[in-house]
Structure 1
Amino acid sequence: MLEIKDLKKSFDGRQILNGVDLTVEDGEILSIVGPSGAGKTTLLRCITGLESADSGTFLIDGQPFDPQGTEESDAVIGVVFQDFNLFPHLSVLENITLAPTMVLKQSKDETNKKAAELLEELGLTGLGDHYPFQLSGGQKQRVAIARALAMNPRILCYDEPTSALDPNLRDEVANLLLSLKKEGMTQLVVTHDMDFAEKIADKILKVQALDARK
């Protein structure tokens, strides 16, 4: 279970997050929704350790946890970026196996076996030797998910998973997230798409710009 208590974050004197609380049970999907500028992505970046929070408490199973603390955090929380952030000079297989090899110190055989399993699970069989420029938007997203899953995270976070895709792929993305939920993956999804959020989520956290609350 992930718990966040009284999370605060400001930039250049402007308060973006002011006392955010949330709880996500194991295996749940939490959708974080709100307009542009409300702090959705900032919240996600604090949770994944890409931004430092000004204050607040992070707990995993009741134990304090620092998202920026140690390499251990890489194996706890994975992230799928809005623009996928695949390495263009690496093949699909190399994109997936790089972090487990370097961070988790897994062997090449071990990482290749895991990558093959993920490619099959995510409908990417036969694409291991392809490069990102050869992939569709939906395939790039699946590779990004495979890369995150290769680190064996307990929690998987997504930043606007449908925004870079054609609208007709929205249901495909929803089904993918729901299939991961059936496997027990805890997921946090930042999205501006309320229909998508309602389709996938066990819980919805609505955030709005602080200026709009006055």
Structure 2
Amino acid sequence: MLTLKDISKQFDNRLILDNINLTVKDGEILCIVGPSGAGKTTLLRSISGLERVTSGKFLLDGQAFDPYENRENDSVIGVVFQDFQLFPNLTVMENITLAPRLVLKKTNEEAEQEAREKMAQLNLAGKESLFPYQLSGGQKQRVAIVRALAMNPKILCYDEPTSALDPDLRQEVESIIVGLKQQGMTQIVVTHDMTFAENIADDIFQVSPRNE
């Protein structure tokens, strides 16, 4: 369980997050919603350790946890970015196995075997040797999810997972996220799409536009 207590974030003199308190329960999906500029992505980046908060604290399973300082953060909190951030010069398999080999020190065989298993679950079998430019938007999304899952995170975060996709692919993303929940994965989803949030969320946290 991840708990945020009085989390605030300032950029210069601009207050983006103001004393945020929330709890993400194990195995559940929390959706963070709100209009553009309200601080949703800043909150997600703070949770995932990409931004250092100005004040407040995080607790992971009741113990103090600093996402920004944690050197093994990729194996605690994984992130699927809005623009996927796949390496264009690497194949699908290389994109997925790079971090497990470098960070988790897995052998090529171990990393590739686990990658194939996860790829099969997300209907990516046979795409191992393709490059990102050869994939559709939906396929890139699934590769980004598999890449994050390959680090065996406790919590998986998504930044606007449907914004770069055609509307008819939203159902596919919903199915993937709900399917991962059924496997016990704790997930945090930032979205401006309230219908999408209502379809997948166990809990919804509204970020107020007054934080702009």
TM-score, length-normalised on structure 2? 0.98
Q: Which amino acid aligns with 1:39?
A: G
Tell whether 2:134 aligns with 1:134: yes
* 1:100-147: CA deviation from partner (whole Å, max 9, x where unpaired): 001111111110100110110110000000000000000000000000
Matched residue type, 2:121? E
Percent identity at matched positions?
64
Residue identity in the other structure for 2:96: I
* Number of residue pairs matched by the alignment: 212
Alignment of 1:29-44 (within 5 A): 29-44=29-44
CA-CA distance at 1:202 after TM superposition: 0.1
Residue in 1 that maps onto 2:8: 8
Aligned partners of 1:66 and 1:73 also within 8 Å: no
Q: Relative to structure 2, which stretch is displaced further, 66-75 or 194-203?
A: 66-75
Q: Report if the CA contact (8 A) 1:16-1:209 is conserved.
A: no
Partner amino acid, structure 1, of 2:50:
L
Matched residue type, 2:59: L
Rounded to whole Å, the distance in 2 between the matches of 1:145 and 1:117 is: 13
Q: What code does the residue aligned with 2:164 have?
A: A
2:59–2:65 Cα contact (<8 Å) kept: yes
- Give the match for residue 57 of structure 1: 57
**Equivalences for residues 21-170 of structure 1 within 5 A:** 21-170=21-170
Work out the CA distance in 2 between the residues paired with 1:181 and 1:99. Answer: 23
| Aligned CA distance change for structure 1 residues 14 and 93 (closer, same or farther; 3 Å) | same
Q: CA deviation at 1:211?
A: 5.8
Q: Once the 2 structures are TM-superposed, how far is the Cα of residue 208 of structure 1 from its aligned partner? A: 1.6
In the other structure, the counterpart of 2:201 is: 201
The question of whether the paired residues in 1 share the 8 Å contact of 2:32 and 2:191 is answered with yes
Q: Is the 8 A contact 2:97 2:112 kept in 1?
A: yes
Deviation track 1:19-58 (CA, whole Å, cap 9, x = no partner) reads: 0011011000000000001000000000001111001111
The answer on whether the counterparts of 2:18 and 2:211 sit within 8 Å (CA) in structure 1 is no
Counterpart in the other structure of 1:180: 180
CA distance in 2, matches of 1:42, 1:73: 17
Contact 1:71 1:103 in 2 (8 A): no
Q: CA deviation at 1:209?
A: 2.0
Gaps of 5+ in 1: none
Alignment partners' CA distance in 2, 1:54 and 1:69 = 14
The one-letter code of the counterpart of 2:74 is D
Alpha-carbon distance, 1:70 to partner: 2.9
- Unaligned runs of 5+ residues in structure 2 are none
Q: CA RMSD in A?
A: 0.9
